[in-house]
């Protein structure tokens, strides 16, 4: 589906920090997040500026480690976080399936496309981190389609993060197989064409920017930021569409401070919270907020459908299918 945008210039953050939530926000709020450290600190600082009476404690790690830590605390009978702010909806879907998330029906999601919000209102997307194609300007052609990576001219020149090592890469892989007519045959074609799947997005960026590979699958902001720094690369949103990781936020049923947790969710979904996403260089999940510099108009970015529940159910099988498809 195409994401609509009535483009306009967003207001500065300063005025937004004076906004208040429908909830009286005071007390201690515990957040478990997979945001990068700098982003996490900025997010907490902005929230605290809007709600100065709230003491915030946050713990940062990769999503698998955050979930593992939470499960260990649940097993011990003492889950600590009030809020989860993690990379992908598959992990959130797992928490929801286990009955760990607290629904928030009153959350204002009127400015969000329906697919950005869990129908039961247990988790809410806060941004879009899409995966498209990065290419080195020394490459023999400019890619426009996912199918271009299987062209003979791209043989042995394609890098991608491995779904066996990265949850975001697995979401991307499953999204393509659900939306491209070839399904898993698309990855079989890439494997036959010598595509290399290893490591994460940082490895792909290093290989393509350095010229070891000339094409790659990568998350948008990494390539766009590196291009702005002068790297000899460009980023393409393929014509068929892109996959997206949406960094959802959710409140735990075990939350000791659910009111402040709701205030935090309200802030992230508000125009002010979404302006912070833009300032950090991400595509905001909320409609009506201008994109960061270096991105095309939002109407030009087509986000492919992704079934989180199915992906959760078929995770092991999908990893096996990928390994088989890429085997040479």
Q: Same topology for domains 13-126+246-295 and 129-243+307-326, yes or no? A: yes
Say what the pLDDT of residue 63 is: 87
Scanning the structure block, which residue is given the tokens 């889950």?
79
> If DSSP codes are grouped into helix, strand and coil, which group holds residue 256?
coil
Q: Is the pLDDT of residue 10 over 50?
A: no
Query: What are 37's two structure tokens?
Result: 């450290």
Give the CA distances from residue 36 to residues 40, 65, 92, in Å, rounded to whole numbers and listed in that order: 6, 14, 18
- Smallest CA-to-CA distance from 264 within 74, 31, 1, 12 is with 31
CB neighbour burial string for 73-102, b if at least 16 within 10 angstroms, e if fewer: eeeeeebbbbbbbbbbbbbbbbbbeeebbb
Per-residue pLDDT tens over the stretch 153-185: 999 999 999 998 888 899 999 999 999 999 999
Sign of the alpha-carbon torsion through 8, 287, 33, 293: negative
pLDDT of the residue at 7: 35
Q: Report the alpha-carbon distance of residue 168 to residue 89 in Å, rounded.
A: 10
Task: Report residue 8's pLDDT band, with 50, 70 and 90 as the boundaries.
Answer: very low
What pLDDT score was predicted for residue 304?
94
Percent of the chain whose predicted confidence (pLDDT) is above 70: 91
Domain boundaries of the chain, sorted by first residue? 13-126+246-295, 129-243+307-326
Express as a percent the part of the chain with pLDDT over 90.
83
Alpha carbons 320 and 318: distance in angstroms, whole number = 5
Specify the CATH superfamily of domain 129-243+307-326. Periplasmic binding protein-like II (3.40.190.10)
Arithmetic mean of pLDDT over the chain: 90
Above 70 in pLDDT, residue 222? yes
Judging by DSSP bridges, how do beta strands 158-160 and 215-219 pair with one another?
parallel
Residue 173 φ/ψ region, left for φ over 0, alpha for ψ in the -120 to 50 degree band, beta for the rest: alpha
Report residue 328's pLDDT band, with 50, 70 and 90 as the boundaries: low
Q: What is the dihedral of CA 233, 288, 280, 230, to 10 degrees?
A: 20
Q: Are 196 and 159 in contact (CB under 8 A)?
A: yes
Q: What is the CA radius of gyration of the chain?
A: 20
* pTM metric for this prediction: 0.84
CA distance 99 to 315: 20
CATH for the stretch 13-126+246-295: 3.40.190.10
Nearest to 275 by CA among 53, 88, 46: 46
Residue 289 above 60 pLDDT? yes
């Amino acid at each position: 589906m195409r994401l609509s945008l009535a483009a306009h210039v967003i207001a500065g953050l300063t005025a937004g920090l004076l906004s208040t939530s429908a909830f009286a926000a005071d007390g201690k709020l515990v957040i478990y997040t997979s945001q990068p450290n700098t982003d996490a600190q900025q997010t907490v600082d902005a929230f605290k500026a809007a709600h100065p009476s709230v003491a915030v404690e946050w713990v940062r790690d990769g999503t698998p480690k955050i979930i593992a830590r939470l499960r260990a605390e649940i097993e011990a009978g003492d889950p600590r976080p009030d809020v989860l702010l993690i990379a992908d909806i598959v992990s959130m879907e797992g928490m929801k399936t286990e009955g760990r998330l607290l629904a928030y029906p009153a959350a204002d999601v009127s400015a969000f496309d329906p697919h950005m919000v869990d129908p039961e209102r247990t988790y809410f997307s806060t941004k879009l981190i899409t995966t498209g194609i990065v290419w080195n300007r020394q490459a023999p052609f400019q890619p426009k389609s996912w199918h271009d990576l299987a062209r003979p001219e791209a043989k042995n020149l394609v890098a991608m993060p491995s779904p066996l090592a990265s949850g975001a890469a697995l979401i991307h892989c499953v999204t393509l197989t659900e939306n491209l007519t070839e399904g898993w045959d698309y990855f079989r074609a890439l494997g036959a064409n010598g595509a290399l799947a290893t490591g994460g997005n940082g490895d792909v960026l290093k290989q393509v920017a350095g010229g070891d590979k000339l094409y790659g699958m990568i998350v948008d902001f990494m390539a766009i930021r590196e291009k702005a720094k002068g790297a000899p690369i460009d980023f393409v949103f393929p014509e068929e569409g892109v996959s997206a990781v949406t960094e959802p936020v959710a409140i735990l049923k075990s939350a000791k401070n659910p009111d402040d947790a709701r205030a935090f969710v309200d802030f992230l979904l508000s125009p002010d919270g979404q302006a912070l996403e833009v300032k950090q260089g991400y595509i905001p999940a909320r409609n009506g907020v201008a994109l960061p510099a270096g991105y095309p108009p939002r109407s030009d970015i087509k986000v492919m459908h992704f079934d989180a529940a199915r992906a959760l159910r078929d995770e092991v099988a999908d990893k096996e299918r990928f390994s088989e498809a890429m085997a040479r």
